[in-house]
Amino acid sequence: MMTAQDPLSSHVLQEIKTRKLLLPGEKIVLAVSGGPDSMALLHAFCTFRTALHLNLTVAHLDHCLRKGSKQDAEFVKSACRVLNVPFVSGRADVRRFARTRKLSIEDAARRLRYRFLVKAAKKAGARKIVTAHTQDDQAETVVLQLVRGAGLSGASGMDWSGPVGTGQSRAVRLVRPFLSTPRAEILKFLRRCRIRFREDPTNSSRRFKRNRLRHDVMPLLKRLNPRAVKHLATFAEILSTGKEYIDRVTEGVFTRLAHERPGRCQFQRSEFIKLPRAIQQGLFRQAVARLGGEEASLNFRHWQLFHQALYKEGVPALLHFPRSIEVGLDDRVVSFSKTRPAKKIRSVSIPKVRSGEVAFADRTITFNMFPRTRRLFPRGRAGEAWLDAERVWFPIQVRTRRPGDRFIPLGMRQSKKLQDFLVDEKVPRSERDSLPIFQDRRQIVWVGGKRLADSVKITPQTRQVLRISL
């Protein structure tokens, strides 16, 4: 029989109050799979929902990964009916999502699960999602993060409470009140209260990384020290306390120094270098998170690459990180950006006429042709090119880059791959697919805004000039 005085329920309620995880009267969504941990979560919350005046909704996602998964949903639905808790469910094709996004099954399942839970929370008018992650889960997470080379953020494990994902979904928070509860105590609670649960056979499959850790590595650690799980969880808590302070300081520094615009975040390099290393690292993590990247996709090696580039004065750098995050460094600026697939841009033509303009993507290209005078020729502004019109084979096609593009840059004698040129010039990946390429009937004559082709440069023999402006 389940009571509010049960040791596990009392412990969890105390953690909720001490850590201020939930407020009286809140609407919350419980993530319930039907397994032992989540069924313990459901029943524990039902014991003190009246005391905290909680408005509960249970959400269950069928990942469609095995036969019998439909029965899990029916099982949870039946339990909710008995406990008088509203129930919502959904289905997701995890395998297809993993295949199309080139993700592991574990990663794909996690993303779809949280996407579903956020939608369920918003529909229920809730701002908190409660999960049944245990002390054992926390210990496993710490080991996994350390093995993959994570820094402070990863090694501090899962937060007791934190935003879900990025963007608008960050308004919904994830709460983990079982993080100090060992799995063994949960199983005792289930037996004591005679609570039924479902067993997921995939939890014993060693195909998945976490399962291999759980069944092969963690037992070895427990042999070395029976309290290994508790100590790993305590280690995470200690690191989390330090991280919380650094994050608070970093937030203030970010507000003061960051220059944000859609898809980009910049800092003055001279100011960034003066900061303590811990704050630099915090800004690095925060910039990635604000651009919609995932801190979980970064490890300490990524930070090291950035830090080394930061202190190479006078050497521009362009770094590419997971989840399409790009970091550019020059003498003045440290720039974080999120690359996105370029929209298909239609090509246009510049005919052999005296003057005119054409529309290309979101810009207007103007051009005019005139005789050369004896006066000295201006070098041209950024986004402007001066060509020997008699060396151009009209019409000029304005297009985006193509595989295999080559040209002879001004000042060179040999042709160069356009891709190599863009890399050498530190042109961000986010700009390369929308860069206008000007090509006459024979060759590329100008890489828009970057470099003229040597064959069409102005010489003492030039009689007709073509000026193109972006």
Contact 456, 380 (CB under 8 A): no
CA angle centred on 115, ends 111 and 117, rounded to 5°:
115
- Per-residue confidence (pLDDT) for residue 293, from 0 to 100: 60
Position 250 scores a pLDDT of: 93
Q: Over the stretch 267-289, which tens digit does the pLDDT of each residue have?
A: 999 999 999 999 999 999 889 88
Q: Nearest 5°: CA angle at 93, between 91 and 99?
A: 160
Evaluate if residue 230 carries a pLDDT over 50: yes
pLDDT at 168: 47
pLDDT at position 257 over 50: yes
State the pTM of this model.
Answer: 0.68
Q: Which residues pair with 232 in a beta bridge?
A: none
- How many angstroms separate the Cα of 369 from the Cα of each of 168, 350, 372, 378, 384? 51, 11, 9, 15, 14
Domains, the chain, with CATH or none: 7-232 (3.40.50.620), 258-338 (3.30.465.60), 348-469 (3.50.40.10)
Of the given ranges (34-38, 71-75, 261-265, 466-470), which has the lowest mean pLDDT? 261-265
pLDDT in tens, 141-196: 999 989 887 778 788 999 999 888 554 456 899 999 999 999 999 999 999 999 99
What is residue 349's predicted lDDT score, i.e. its pLDDT? 87
Tokens of 315: 């050497």
**Cβ-based neighbours of 261, under 8 Å, separated by 6 or more:** none
Kindly report, residue by residue over 318-332, the tens digit of the pLDDT: 888 877 788 888 888
> Beta strand pairing status for 464-469 and 363-371?
antiparallel
